[in-house]
């Protein structure tokens, strides 16, 4: 009987992270910060497979002053994620009312920022980074 070698399969996918505009400079200048979540086994950076969900978080992170003016100042950062599922990232399920299609990223070095999305006059506009 021969030896069996187990190889990890690297996956590449696009993921998004919606946040306030105040966080953008830090996200682009350095790696995202991981945080503990009660529903994930180790600290992670939360992303989603759904642009719509990320846009919802960007709207939620818009300042009250901007929102009152009718401006959505939150942003969505689009990333390319390369890594091994289970080791570098995993699908996370938060027991909330909505499926956020969350991807918990443990190895933030596997994230490469591709673009920033901003809401301009009610439409999302993509700018490469």
**Do the Cβ atoms of 37 and 92 come closer than 8 Å?**
yes
Band of the pLDDT at 6, cuts 50, 70, 90?
A: very low
The more confident residue out of 8 and 73 is: 73
Q: What is the pTM of this model?
A: 0.88
DSSP secondary structure of 91-102: EE--SSSS---E
């Amino acid at each position: 009987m021969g030896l069996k070698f187990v190889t990890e399969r690297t996956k590449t996918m696009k993921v998004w992270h919606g946040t306030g505009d105040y966080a953008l400079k830090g996200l682009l200048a350095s790696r995202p910060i991981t945080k503990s979540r009660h529903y994930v086994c180790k600290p992670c950076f939360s992303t989603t497979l759904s642009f719509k969900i990320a846009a919802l978080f960007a709207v939620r992170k818009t300042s009250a002053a901007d929102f009152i003016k009718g401006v959505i100042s939150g942003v969505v950062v689009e990333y390319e994620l390369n890594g091994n599922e289970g080791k570098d990232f995993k699908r996370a399920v938060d027991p909330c009312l909505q499926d956020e299609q969350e991807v918990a990223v443990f190895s933030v070095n596997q994230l490469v920022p591709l673009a920033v999305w901003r809401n301009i006059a009610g439409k999302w506009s993509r700018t490469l980074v």
